[in-house]
Protein backbone atom coordinates (compact mmCIF):
# COMPACT_ATOMS: atom_id res chain seq x y z
CA UNK A 1 0.00 0.00 0.00
CA UNK A 2 1.38 3.35 -0.97
CA UNK A 3 2.23 6.00 1.58
CA UNK A 4 -0.83 8.21 1.64
CA UNK A 5 -1.61 11.84 2.28
CA UNK A 6 -4.50 12.38 4.66
CA UNK A 7 -6.50 15.52 4.07
CA UNK A 8 -8.95 16.28 6.85
CA UNK A 9 -11.89 18.36 5.72
CA UNK A 10 -13.93 20.42 8.13
CA UNK A 11 -17.65 20.98 7.53
CA UNK A 12 -18.67 24.65 7.70
CA UNK A 13 -20.26 25.51 11.03
CA UNK A 14 -19.57 22.14 12.65
CA UNK A 15 -16.84 20.92 14.90
CA UNK A 16 -16.83 17.25 13.88
CA UNK A 17 -14.32 16.39 11.16
CA UNK A 18 -15.51 14.83 7.93
CA UNK A 19 -14.07 11.51 6.70
CA UNK A 20 -10.49 11.69 5.49
CA UNK A 21 -9.55 11.54 1.83
CA UNK A 22 -6.76 9.10 1.02
CA UNK A 23 -4.59 10.26 -1.85
CA UNK A 24 -1.49 8.18 -2.78
CA UNK A 25 1.81 10.04 -2.42
CA UNK A 26 2.79 9.47 -6.08
CA UNK A 27 -0.53 11.00 -7.13
CA UNK A 28 0.19 14.14 -5.08
CA UNK A 29 3.76 14.37 -6.40
CA UNK A 30 2.58 13.90 -9.98
CA UNK A 31 -0.06 16.61 -9.47
CA UNK A 32 2.52 19.04 -8.06
CA UNK A 33 4.86 18.59 -10.99
CA UNK A 34 2.10 18.96 -13.57
CA UNK A 35 0.87 22.06 -11.76
CA UNK A 36 4.28 23.77 -11.75
CA UNK A 37 5.03 22.50 -15.24
CA UNK A 38 1.86 23.80 -16.80
CA UNK A 39 2.39 27.24 -15.26
CA UNK A 40 5.95 27.30 -16.62
CA UNK A 41 4.46 26.29 -19.96
CA UNK A 42 2.00 29.17 -19.79
CA UNK A 43 4.89 31.52 -19.04
CA UNK A 44 6.84 30.26 -22.04
CA UNK A 45 3.75 30.55 -24.25
CA UNK A 46 3.04 34.13 -23.19
CA UNK A 47 6.64 35.33 -23.49
CA UNK A 48 7.47 33.62 -26.79
CA UNK A 49 4.14 34.55 -28.37
CA UNK A 50 4.68 38.19 -27.36
CA UNK A 51 8.18 38.10 -28.86
CA UNK A 52 6.70 36.76 -32.12
CA UNK A 53 3.69 39.06 -32.31
CA UNK A 54 5.58 42.21 -31.30
CA UNK A 55 8.16 41.62 -34.02
CA UNK A 56 11.05 41.50 -31.54
CA UNK A 57 11.93 38.21 -33.18
CA UNK A 58 10.18 38.06 -36.54
CA UNK A 59 8.85 34.74 -37.80
CA UNK A 60 10.13 32.92 -40.85
CA UNK A 61 6.58 33.63 -42.03
CA UNK A 62 4.95 36.95 -41.08
CA UNK A 63 1.63 36.75 -39.18
CA UNK A 64 -0.12 38.48 -42.12
CA UNK A 65 1.12 35.73 -44.45
CA UNK A 66 0.01 33.05 -41.98
CA UNK A 67 -3.45 34.62 -41.92
CA UNK A 68 -3.63 34.53 -45.72
CA UNK A 69 -2.84 30.82 -45.82
CA UNK A 70 -4.46 29.39 -42.68
CA UNK A 71 -7.39 28.27 -44.82
CA UNK A 72 -5.11 25.75 -46.58
CA UNK A 73 -4.56 22.18 -45.37
CA UNK A 74 -1.50 21.58 -43.18
CA UNK A 75 0.37 19.98 -46.08
CA UNK A 76 -0.41 22.87 -48.45
CA UNK A 77 0.36 25.42 -45.72
CA UNK A 78 3.83 23.97 -45.22
CA UNK A 79 4.47 23.85 -48.98
CA UNK A 80 3.25 27.38 -49.74
CA UNK A 81 5.15 28.92 -46.83
CA UNK A 82 8.17 26.64 -47.32
CA UNK A 83 8.09 25.46 -43.73
CA UNK A 84 9.60 22.25 -42.35
CA UNK A 85 7.71 19.49 -40.56
CA UNK A 86 8.77 17.10 -37.82
CA UNK A 87 11.40 18.32 -35.35
CA UNK A 88 13.23 20.56 -37.85
CA UNK A 89 11.67 23.62 -36.17
CA UNK A 90 13.84 23.03 -33.11
CA UNK A 91 16.87 24.11 -35.10
CA UNK A 92 15.13 27.32 -36.20
CA UNK A 93 14.32 28.88 -32.82
CA UNK A 94 15.75 32.18 -34.01
CA UNK A 95 12.42 32.73 -35.77
CA UNK A 96 9.45 33.91 -33.70
CA UNK A 97 6.95 31.43 -35.11
CA UNK A 98 9.15 28.45 -34.22
CA UNK A 99 10.07 29.94 -30.85
CA UNK A 100 6.34 30.06 -30.07
CA UNK A 101 6.14 26.31 -30.58
CA UNK A 102 8.47 25.82 -27.63
CA UNK A 103 5.72 26.31 -25.03
CA UNK A 104 3.38 23.95 -26.88
CA UNK A 105 6.08 21.28 -27.08
CA UNK A 106 6.75 21.79 -23.36
CA UNK A 107 3.09 21.12 -22.51
CA UNK A 108 3.09 18.06 -24.76
CA UNK A 109 6.18 16.62 -23.08
CA UNK A 110 5.11 17.23 -19.45
CA UNK A 111 3.15 14.00 -19.09
CA UNK A 112 6.07 11.92 -20.32
CA UNK A 113 8.43 13.57 -17.82
CA UNK A 114 5.94 13.22 -14.95
CA UNK A 115 5.47 9.52 -15.69
CA UNK A 116 9.24 8.98 -15.67
CA UNK A 117 9.83 11.13 -12.59
CA UNK A 118 7.06 9.85 -10.31
CA UNK A 119 4.94 6.99 -11.57
CA UNK A 120 7.65 4.65 -12.83
CA UNK A 121 9.73 4.94 -9.61
CA UNK A 122 6.63 4.71 -7.38
CA UNK A 123 5.31 1.51 -8.93
CA UNK A 124 8.82 0.10 -9.08
CA UNK A 125 9.24 0.75 -5.35
CA UNK A 126 5.85 -0.80 -4.61
CA UNK A 127 6.73 -3.77 -6.86
CA UNK A 128 3.37 -3.21 -8.55
CA UNK A 129 4.23 -5.07 -11.76
CA UNK A 130 0.94 -4.54 -13.65
CA UNK A 131 0.96 -0.77 -13.15
CA UNK A 132 4.72 -0.54 -13.67
CA UNK A 133 4.19 -2.24 -17.04
CA UNK A 134 1.32 0.09 -17.89
CA UNK A 135 3.31 3.26 -17.16
CA UNK A 136 6.43 2.04 -18.99
CA UNK A 137 4.43 1.10 -22.11
CA UNK A 138 2.67 4.48 -21.91
CA UNK A 139 6.01 6.29 -21.86
CA UNK A 140 7.10 4.30 -24.92
CA UNK A 141 3.87 5.09 -26.79
CA UNK A 142 4.07 8.81 -26.03
CA UNK A 143 7.75 8.96 -26.90
CA UNK A 144 7.11 7.17 -30.19
CA UNK A 145 4.36 9.67 -31.06
CA UNK A 146 6.60 12.60 -30.13
CA UNK A 147 9.63 11.29 -32.00
CA UNK A 148 8.13 11.75 -35.46
CA UNK A 149 9.32 8.26 -36.39
CA UNK A 150 5.76 7.35 -37.32
CA UNK A 151 6.00 9.79 -40.25
CA UNK A 152 3.55 12.28 -41.64
CA UNK A 153 -0.03 11.90 -42.83
CA UNK A 154 -1.36 14.65 -45.02
CA UNK A 155 -3.94 14.96 -47.76
CA UNK B 1 -38.00 21.50 -45.76
CA UNK B 2 -34.51 22.97 -45.91
CA UNK B 3 -35.92 26.46 -45.23
CA UNK B 4 -37.77 25.19 -42.18
CA UNK B 5 -34.63 23.46 -41.00
CA UNK B 6 -32.59 26.61 -41.54
CA UNK B 7 -35.23 28.69 -39.73
CA UNK B 8 -35.24 26.33 -36.76
CA UNK B 9 -31.49 26.31 -36.77
CA UNK B 10 -31.34 30.10 -36.81
CA UNK B 11 -33.71 30.17 -33.82
CA UNK B 12 -31.44 27.73 -32.05
CA UNK B 13 -28.40 29.81 -32.97
CA UNK B 14 -30.09 32.83 -31.42
CA UNK B 15 -30.84 30.91 -28.23
CA UNK B 16 -27.24 29.81 -27.83
CA UNK B 17 -25.98 33.26 -28.78
CA UNK B 18 -28.11 34.66 -25.97
CA UNK B 19 -26.37 32.29 -23.60
CA UNK B 20 -22.95 33.45 -24.75
CA UNK B 21 -23.73 36.91 -26.15
CA UNK B 22 -20.35 38.60 -26.28
CA UNK B 23 -18.39 35.72 -27.74
CA UNK B 24 -20.96 34.56 -30.30
CA UNK B 25 -21.74 38.07 -31.47
CA UNK B 26 -18.07 38.94 -31.85
CA UNK B 27 -17.47 35.82 -33.94
CA UNK B 28 -20.52 36.49 -36.09
CA UNK B 29 -19.52 40.10 -36.62
CA UNK B 30 -15.96 39.26 -37.57
CA UNK B 31 -17.02 36.36 -39.78
CA UNK B 32 -19.35 38.64 -41.69
CA UNK B 33 -16.57 41.12 -42.42
CA UNK B 34 -14.10 39.72 -44.94
CA UNK B 35 -11.82 42.74 -44.51
CA UNK B 36 -11.41 42.15 -40.78
CA UNK B 37 -7.75 42.61 -39.79
CA UNK B 38 -6.00 39.28 -39.18
CA UNK B 39 -5.26 40.05 -35.52
CA UNK B 40 -8.97 40.19 -34.64
CA UNK B 41 -9.15 36.39 -34.90
CA UNK B 42 -6.58 35.56 -32.22
CA UNK B 43 -8.33 38.00 -29.86
CA UNK B 44 -11.77 36.49 -30.46
CA UNK B 45 -10.24 33.03 -30.12
CA UNK B 46 -8.86 33.94 -26.72
CA UNK B 47 -12.22 35.16 -25.40
CA UNK B 48 -14.07 32.17 -26.87
CA UNK B 49 -11.73 29.61 -25.37
CA UNK B 50 -11.77 31.29 -21.94
CA UNK B 51 -15.52 30.73 -21.77
CA UNK B 52 -15.18 27.20 -23.16
CA UNK B 53 -12.51 26.41 -20.55
CA UNK B 54 -14.89 27.11 -17.68
CA UNK B 55 -17.74 25.14 -19.19
CA UNK B 56 -15.52 22.20 -20.20
CA UNK B 57 -14.22 21.59 -16.69
CA UNK B 58 -17.68 21.81 -15.14
CA UNK B 59 -19.04 19.34 -17.68
CA UNK B 60 -16.08 16.97 -17.42
CA UNK B 61 -15.41 17.17 -21.15
CA UNK B 62 -12.24 18.15 -22.93
CA UNK B 63 -12.14 21.71 -24.22
CA UNK B 64 -11.51 20.17 -27.64
CA UNK B 65 -15.02 18.75 -27.95
CA UNK B 66 -16.48 22.25 -27.77
CA UNK B 67 -13.55 24.03 -29.41
CA UNK B 68 -13.26 22.01 -32.64
CA UNK B 69 -16.86 22.25 -33.90
CA UNK B 70 -17.33 25.86 -32.79
CA UNK B 71 -14.02 27.22 -34.09
CA UNK B 72 -14.15 24.90 -37.13
CA UNK B 73 -17.54 26.31 -38.10
CA UNK B 74 -17.18 30.01 -37.36
CA UNK B 75 -13.51 30.82 -37.83
CA UNK B 76 -11.67 30.99 -41.18
CA UNK B 77 -9.06 28.32 -40.36
CA UNK B 78 -8.60 24.98 -42.14
CA UNK B 79 -9.89 22.09 -40.08
CA UNK B 80 -6.37 20.63 -39.81
CA UNK B 81 -5.28 23.62 -37.72
CA UNK B 82 -8.50 23.66 -35.74
CA UNK B 83 -8.10 19.98 -34.83
CA UNK B 84 -4.42 20.49 -34.06
CA UNK B 85 -5.23 23.44 -31.82
CA UNK B 86 -8.20 21.51 -30.41
CA UNK B 87 -5.91 18.79 -29.16
CA UNK B 88 -3.50 21.31 -27.65
CA UNK B 89 -6.48 23.10 -26.08
CA UNK B 90 -7.83 19.85 -24.64
CA UNK B 91 -4.34 18.96 -23.42
CA UNK B 92 -3.79 22.35 -21.81
CA UNK B 93 -7.22 22.31 -20.16
CA UNK B 94 -6.55 18.85 -18.76
CA UNK B 95 -3.10 19.87 -17.49
CA UNK B 96 -4.60 22.94 -15.81
CA UNK B 97 -7.45 21.04 -14.14
CA UNK B 98 -5.67 17.73 -13.46
CA UNK B 99 -3.48 18.70 -10.48
CA UNK B 100 -6.42 20.04 -8.44
CA UNK B 101 -8.49 16.96 -9.18
CA UNK B 102 -5.63 14.59 -8.35
CA UNK B 103 -4.86 16.32 -5.06
CA UNK B 104 -8.53 16.30 -4.01
CA UNK B 105 -8.79 12.62 -4.87
CA UNK B 106 -11.46 13.36 -7.51
CA UNK B 107 -9.19 11.76 -10.11
CA UNK B 108 -7.77 8.31 -9.49
CA UNK B 109 -4.58 6.98 -11.06
CA UNK B 110 -5.52 3.31 -10.81
CA UNK B 111 -8.78 4.00 -12.60
CA UNK B 112 -7.29 6.29 -15.25
CA UNK B 113 -3.87 4.87 -16.17
CA UNK B 114 -4.97 1.64 -17.93
CA UNK B 115 -7.65 3.37 -20.01
CA UNK B 116 -5.25 6.23 -20.79
CA UNK B 117 -2.79 3.75 -22.27
CA UNK B 118 -5.44 2.25 -24.56
CA UNK B 119 -6.93 5.58 -25.63
CA UNK B 120 -3.57 7.30 -26.19
CA UNK B 121 -2.32 4.42 -28.36
CA UNK B 122 -5.37 4.47 -30.61
CA UNK B 123 -5.55 8.26 -30.74
CA UNK B 124 -2.31 8.11 -32.74
CA UNK B 125 -4.05 5.93 -35.33
CA UNK B 126 -7.03 8.31 -35.31
CA UNK B 127 -4.78 11.33 -35.85
CA UNK B 128 -3.30 9.79 -39.01
CA UNK B 129 -6.77 8.93 -40.34
CA UNK B 130 -7.96 12.48 -39.66
CA UNK B 131 -5.01 14.04 -41.46
CA UNK B 132 -5.62 11.82 -44.50
CA UNK B 133 -9.34 12.64 -45.00
CA UNK B 134 -10.62 15.53 -47.19
CA UNK B 135 -11.93 18.54 -45.23
CA UNK B 136 -15.59 18.41 -46.34
CA UNK B 137 -15.91 14.73 -45.47
CA UNK B 138 -14.23 15.34 -42.16
CA UNK B 139 -16.44 18.36 -41.41
CA UNK B 140 -19.61 16.33 -42.04
CA UNK B 141 -18.30 13.37 -40.04
CA UNK B 142 -17.42 15.79 -37.25
CA UNK B 143 -20.95 17.23 -37.32
CA UNK B 144 -22.51 13.77 -37.12
CA UNK B 145 -20.13 12.78 -34.32
CA UNK B 146 -20.86 15.94 -32.33
CA UNK B 147 -24.64 15.46 -32.71
CA UNK B 148 -24.22 11.83 -31.64
CA UNK B 149 -22.29 13.03 -28.60
CA UNK B 150 -25.08 15.49 -27.75
CA UNK B 151 -27.65 12.71 -28.13
CA UNK B 152 -25.55 10.52 -25.88
CA UNK B 153 -25.66 13.27 -23.27
CA UNK B 154 -29.46 13.56 -23.64
CA UNK B 155 -30.31 9.89 -23.32
CA UNK B 156 -27.57 8.53 -21.09
CA UNK B 157 -28.53 8.76 -17.46
CA UNK B 158 -25.39 9.17 -15.44
CA UNK B 159 -25.55 7.79 -11.97
CA UNK B 160 -23.97 9.65 -9.06
CA UNK B 161 -23.15 6.31 -7.43
CA UNK B 162 -23.74 3.32 -9.72
CA UNK B 163 -24.61 0.00 -8.15
CA UNK B 164 -21.54 -2.19 -8.52
CA UNK B 165 -22.03 -5.58 -6.82
CA UNK B 166 -18.27 -6.04 -6.63
CA UNK B 167 -15.11 -5.78 -8.71
CA UNK B 168 -14.69 -8.21 -11.61
CA UNK B 169 -11.56 -10.32 -11.94
CA UNK B 170 -9.49 -7.75 -13.79
CA UNK B 171 -10.49 -4.86 -11.54
CA UNK B 172 -9.68 -7.00 -8.54
CA UNK B 173 -6.25 -8.03 -9.84
CA UNK B 174 -5.42 -4.40 -10.75
CA UNK B 175 -6.77 -3.25 -7.35
CA UNK B 176 -9.00 -0.63 -8.93
CA UNK B 177 -11.04 0.56 -5.96
CA UNK B 178 -10.92 3.20 -3.25
CA UNK B 179 -12.76 5.78 -1.21
CA UNK B 180 -13.46 9.42 -1.89
CA UNK B 181 -15.23 12.06 0.17
CA UNK B 182 -18.33 13.57 -1.41
CA UNK B 183 -17.99 17.26 -0.51
CA UNK B 184 -21.68 18.08 -0.75
CA UNK B 185 -22.68 15.43 1.82
CA UNK B 186 -19.41 14.93 3.69
CA UNK B 187 -19.83 11.17 3.36
CA UNK B 188 -17.09 8.72 2.41
CA UNK B 189 -17.98 6.81 -0.74
CA UNK B 190 -16.40 3.39 -1.32
CA UNK B 191 -16.10 2.51 -4.98
CA UNK B 192 -14.85 -0.10 -7.36
CA UNK B 193 -15.57 -0.98 -11.00
CA UNK B 194 -16.91 -3.88 -13.04
CA UNK B 195 -17.22 -4.80 -16.77
CA UNK B 196 -13.56 -3.79 -16.97
CA UNK B 197 -12.69 -5.60 -20.22
CA UNK B 198 -15.74 -4.17 -22.04
CA UNK B 199 -14.81 -0.73 -20.78
CA UNK B 200 -11.21 -1.07 -21.94
CA UNK B 201 -12.33 -2.20 -25.41
CA UNK B 202 -14.59 0.84 -25.67
CA UNK B 203 -11.58 3.07 -25.09
CA UNK B 204 -10.10 1.83 -28.39
CA UNK B 205 -12.93 3.58 -30.24
CA UNK B 206 -12.72 6.62 -27.95
CA UNK B 207 -9.03 7.01 -28.71
CA UNK B 208 -9.60 6.70 -32.46
CA UNK B 209 -12.30 9.38 -32.51
CA UNK B 210 -10.35 11.68 -30.20
CA UNK B 211 -7.30 11.61 -32.45
CA UNK B 212 -9.25 11.77 -35.69
CA UNK B 213 -11.31 14.85 -34.84
CA UNK B 214 -9.01 16.48 -32.28
CA UNK B 215 -11.88 16.38 -29.85
CA UNK B 216 -10.36 15.28 -26.61
CA UNK B 217 -12.54 12.52 -25.21
CA UNK B 218 -14.24 13.59 -22.00
CA UNK B 219 -17.65 13.25 -23.66
CA UNK B 220 -17.09 9.50 -23.95
CA UNK B 221 -14.79 8.92 -20.98
CA UNK B 222 -17.40 9.98 -18.45
CA UNK B 223 -20.33 7.75 -19.55
CA UNK B 224 -18.06 4.75 -20.09
CA UNK B 225 -16.33 5.12 -16.72
CA UNK B 226 -19.60 5.94 -14.95
CA UNK B 227 -22.35 3.91 -16.65
CA UNK B 228 -20.47 0.98 -18.11
CA UNK B 229 -17.70 0.47 -15.58
CA UNK B 230 -19.56 1.78 -12.54
CA UNK B 231 -17.23 4.51 -11.23
CA UNK B 232 -19.02 7.22 -9.20
CA UNK B 233 -19.92 10.25 -11.36
CA UNK B 234 -17.59 12.78 -9.74
CA UNK B 235 -14.70 10.34 -9.84
CA UNK B 236 -15.49 9.56 -13.50
CA UNK B 237 -15.54 13.27 -14.35
CA UNK B 238 -12.29 13.97 -12.47
CA UNK B 239 -10.45 10.92 -13.79
CA UNK B 240 -11.67 11.68 -17.31
CA UNK B 241 -10.20 15.15 -17.16
CA UNK B 242 -6.89 13.76 -15.93
CA UNK B 243 -6.65 11.00 -18.52
CA UNK B 244 -7.31 13.52 -21.30
CA UNK B 245 -3.88 14.94 -20.55
CA UNK B 246 -2.41 11.58 -21.56
CA UNK B 247 -4.71 10.67 -24.47
CA UNK B 248 -4.30 14.05 -26.11
CA UNK B 249 -0.53 14.15 -25.66
CA UNK B 250 0.01 11.30 -28.13
CA UNK B 251 -2.37 12.64 -30.81
CA UNK B 252 -1.08 16.19 -30.31
CA UNK B 253 2.44 15.11 -31.21
CA UNK B 254 1.21 13.65 -34.51
CA UNK B 255 -0.40 17.00 -35.38
CA UNK B 256 2.68 18.97 -34.25
CA UNK B 257 5.00 16.78 -36.32
CA UNK B 258 2.76 17.24 -39.37
CA UNK B 259 2.77 21.04 -39.14
CA UNK B 260 -0.91 21.18 -38.14
CA UNK B 261 -0.24 23.28 -35.03
CA UNK B 262 0.42 26.96 -35.75
CA UNK B 263 1.07 29.34 -32.85
CA UNK B 264 -1.25 32.16 -34.00
CA UNK B 265 -4.20 29.80 -33.66
CA UNK B 266 -2.99 27.48 -30.91
CA UNK B 267 -1.45 29.91 -28.40
CA UNK B 268 -4.44 32.26 -27.86
CA UNK B 269 -6.67 29.18 -27.66
CA UNK B 270 -4.44 27.47 -25.11
CA UNK B 271 -4.10 30.58 -22.93
CA UNK B 272 -7.85 31.11 -22.97
CA UNK B 273 -8.69 27.52 -22.09
CA UNK B 274 -6.09 27.32 -19.31
CA UNK B 275 -7.35 30.46 -17.63
CA UNK B 276 -10.94 29.32 -18.03
CA UNK B 277 -10.10 25.88 -16.62
CA UNK B 278 -8.58 27.44 -13.50
CA UNK B 279 -11.88 29.20 -12.88
CA UNK B 280 -13.84 26.04 -13.70
CA UNK B 281 -11.95 23.77 -11.32
CA UNK B 282 -12.68 26.16 -8.42
CA UNK B 283 -16.39 25.76 -9.15
CA UNK B 284 -16.34 22.00 -9.81
CA UNK B 285 -16.73 20.60 -6.30
CA UNK B 286 -19.83 22.73 -5.70
CA UNK B 287 -21.33 22.36 -9.16
CA UNK B 288 -24.49 20.46 -10.02
CA UNK B 289 -23.60 18.00 -12.80
CA UNK B 290 -27.13 17.97 -14.32
CA UNK B 291 -27.33 21.74 -14.80
CA UNK B 292 -23.99 21.76 -16.60
CA UNK B 293 -25.10 18.87 -18.80
CA UNK B 294 -28.03 20.83 -20.24
CA UNK B 295 -25.77 23.72 -21.21
CA UNK B 296 -23.28 21.40 -22.89
CA UNK B 297 -26.01 19.50 -24.78
CA UNK B 298 -27.27 22.78 -26.26
CA UNK B 299 -23.81 23.91 -27.28
CA UNK B 300 -22.89 20.56 -28.82
CA UNK B 301 -26.10 20.28 -30.84
CA UNK B 302 -25.63 23.82 -32.13
CA UNK B 303 -22.01 23.23 -33.09
CA UNK B 304 -22.66 19.78 -34.56
CA UNK B 305 -25.42 20.91 -36.92
CA UNK B 306 -23.35 23.91 -37.98
CA UNK B 307 -20.37 21.70 -38.74
CA UNK B 308 -22.47 19.24 -40.75
CA UNK B 309 -24.10 22.01 -42.82
CA UNK B 310 -20.70 23.56 -43.45
CA UNK B 311 -19.37 20.23 -44.69
CA UNK B 312 -22.42 19.95 -46.99
CA UNK B 313 -21.60 23.40 -48.35
CA UNK B 314 -24.92 24.83 -47.08
CA UNK B 315 -23.28 27.41 -44.79
B246 touches chain A (CB under 8 A): yes
Residues A52-89 have pLDDT tens digits of: 999 999 999 989 999 999 999 999 999 999 998 888 89
pLDDT value, residue B274: 77
Q: How much is the mean pLDDT over chain A?
A: 86
Question: Chain A residue with minimal CA distance to B257?
Answer: A86
pLDDT value, residue B4: 54
Residues B101-131 have pLDDT tens digits of: 899 888 999 999 999 999 999 999 999 999 8
pLDDT value, residue A18: 60
Q: Residue B191: give the domain boundaries.
A: 2-312
pLDDT band at residue B13, thresholds of 50, 70 and 90?
very low
Whether residue A14 lies inside any domain: the answer is no
Angle at which helices B40-59 and B79-104 pack, to 10 degrees? 40
pLDDT band at residue B302, thresholds of 50, 70 and 90?
confident
Q: Which of B29-33, B74-78, B82-86, B117-121 has the lowest mean pLDDT?
A: B29-33
Number of H helices, E strands in chain B: 13, 2
Whether residue A71 lies inside any domain: the answer is yes
With b for 16 or more beta-carbon neighbours within 10 A and e for fewer, the B160-188 pattern comes to ebbebeebbebbeebebbbebbbbeeeee
pLDDT value, residue B60: 64
Whether residue A7 lies inside any domain: the answer is no
Look at chain A and report how many structural domains it folds into.
1
Whether residue A2 lies inside any domain: the answer is no
Whether residue A36 lies inside any domain: the answer is yes
Distance from CA of B139 to the nearest CA of A (A): 13
Given a cut of 80, is residue A7 above it in pLDDT?
Answer: no
How far is the CA of B182 from the CAs of A14, B66, B217, B232, in angstroms? 17, 28, 25, 10
Whether residue A90 lies inside any domain: the answer is yes
Over range B239-254, report the average pLDDT: 91
B269 touches chain A (CB under 8 A): no
Whether residue A49 lies inside any domain: the answer is yes
Distance from CA of B95 to the nearest CA of A (A): 6
**Three-state SS at B13:** helix
Contacts of B178 (CB under 8 A, 6+ apart): A22, B105, B108, B110, B190, B191, B192
> Least CB-CB distance to B259: which of A31, A37, A74?
A74
Given a cut of 80, is residue A97 above it in pLDDT?
Answer: yes
pLDDT value, residue B35: 64
Q: Residue A71: give the domain boundaries.
A: 24-147
Given a cut of 60, is residue B1 above it in pLDDT?
Answer: no
pLDDT value, residue B300: 83
Q: Which is more confidently placed, B289 or B123? A: B123
Q: How far apart are the C-alpha atoms of B24 and A79, rounded to whole Å? A: 33
pLDDT band at residue B190, thresholds of 50, 70 and 90?
confident
Whether residue A82 lies inside any domain: the answer is yes
Q: Which of A111-120, B55-64, B167-176, B269-278 has the lowest mean pLDDT?
A: B55-64
A5: phi then psi, degrees, rounded to nearest 5: -95, 130
Over range A99-110, report the average pLDDT: 94
Residues B14-57 have pLDDT tens digits of: 444 444 445 455 555 555 455 678 888 999 999 898 888 788 77
Look at chain B and report how many structural domains it folds into.
1
pLDDT value, residue A9: 41
Q: Which of B115-119, B160-164, B175-179, B242-246 has the lowest mean pLDDT?
A: B160-164
Residue B249 to residue A23, Cβ atoms within 8 A: no
Q: How far apart are the C-alpha atoms of A19 and A21, rounded to whole Å? A: 7
ipTM here: 0.86
Given a cut of 70, is residue B212 above it in pLDDT?
Answer: yes
Residue A138 to residue B41, Cβ atoms within 8 A: no
Residue A155 to residue B132, Cβ atoms within 8 A: yes
Residue B264 to residue A70, Cβ atoms within 8 A: yes
pLDDT band at residue B5, thresholds of 50, 70 and 90?
very low
**Three-state SS at A7:** strand
Over range B293-313, report the average pLDDT: 84
Amino acid sequence: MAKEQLATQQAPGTSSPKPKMHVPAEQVAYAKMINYGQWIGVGILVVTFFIYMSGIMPGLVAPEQVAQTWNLSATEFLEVNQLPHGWAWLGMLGYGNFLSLLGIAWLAVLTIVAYLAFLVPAYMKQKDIPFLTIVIVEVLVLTLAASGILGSGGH
Amino acid sequence: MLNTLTEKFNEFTLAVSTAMPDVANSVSAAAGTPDSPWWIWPIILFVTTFVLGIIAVLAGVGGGVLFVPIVGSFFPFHLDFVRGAGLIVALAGALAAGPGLLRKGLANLRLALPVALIASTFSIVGAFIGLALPQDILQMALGVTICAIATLFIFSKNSDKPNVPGPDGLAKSLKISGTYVEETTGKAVDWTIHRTIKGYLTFIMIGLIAGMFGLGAGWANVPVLNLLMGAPLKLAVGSSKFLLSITDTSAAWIYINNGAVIPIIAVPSVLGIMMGSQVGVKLLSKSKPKAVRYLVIGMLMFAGITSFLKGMGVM
